[in-house]
């Protein structure tokens, strides 16, 4: 399957459906983005059941801002409409495949319970400072931040 261009007009529609959507935030002037593109494309061909989207951060600055994209490429995984992973950095092919496996293995009922508990906790008296700089922090924990070791 080829990658899908994601824009402000279609992003919510594509990412809110059931299943897995991987999103590559990139720009044409970004060397690591350009080098990662063939890996991402090969993975899209191996996994036709997954939607592989690409957001050109130059053309879609509002989307990049909405998700706090500060470094590209940034890879985001959305499953059943929930952002379950977001991390800057091009992933080597084995790390991308590992990320896909981890996202496929997630128990989404458990992820939703954790998110609900996190939201409820946010409305009570905080015991530690809350971090809100990463939009997918709860989900990253669920995905066990597997590819973090793949960055060099």
pLDDT at 140: 42
Based on the residue annotation, tell me whether 33 is a catalytic residue of this protein.
Answer: yes
Based on the residue annotation, tell me whether 102 is a catalytic residue of this protein.
Answer: no
| Residue 149 to residue 132: CA distance in whole angstroms | 23
Cα–Cα nearest to 92, from 36, 134, 50: 36
CB 53 within 8 A of CB 4: yes
pLDDT at 59: 97
Name the active-site residue from 1, 30, 108, 150.
30
User: What's the distance, CA 130 to chain centroid?
Assistant: 21
Strands 74-79 and 82-88: antiparallel
Read off the tokens for 12.
């919510």
Read off the tokens for 88.
């800057």
pLDDT at 1: 53
Per-residue pLDDT tens over the stretch 127-140: 443 333 333 433 44
pLDDT at 21: 97
Name the active-site residue from 6, 33, 76, 82.
33
pLDDT at 14: 96
Residue corresponding to tokens 């989404």: 108
pLDDT under 50 in the chain at which residues? 126-152
Q: What is the pTM of this model?
A: 0.78
Burial of 147 from C-beta contacts in 10 A (0-12 / 13-18 / 19+): buried
pLDDT at 125: 52
pLDDT at 44: 96
């Amino acid at each position: 399957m080829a990658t899908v261009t994601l824009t402000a007009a279609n992003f919510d529609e594509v990412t809110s459906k059931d299943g897995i959507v991987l999103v590559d935030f990139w720009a044409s002037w970004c060397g690591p983005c350009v080098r990662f593109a063939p890996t991402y494309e090969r993975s899209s061909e191996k996994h036709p059941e997954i939607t592989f989207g690409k957001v050109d951060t130059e053309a879609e600055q509002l989307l990049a801002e909405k998700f706090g994209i500060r470094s590209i490429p940034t890879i985001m995984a959305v499953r059943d409409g929930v952002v379950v992973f977001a991390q800057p950095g091009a992933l080597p092919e084995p790390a991308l495949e590992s990320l896909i496996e981890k996202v496929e293995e997630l128990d989404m009922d458990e992820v939703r319970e954790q998110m609900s508990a996190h939201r409820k906790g946010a409305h009570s008296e905080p015991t530690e400072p809350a971090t809100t700089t990463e939009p997918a922090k709860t989900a990253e924990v669920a995905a066990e931040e597997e590819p973090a070791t793949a960055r060099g």
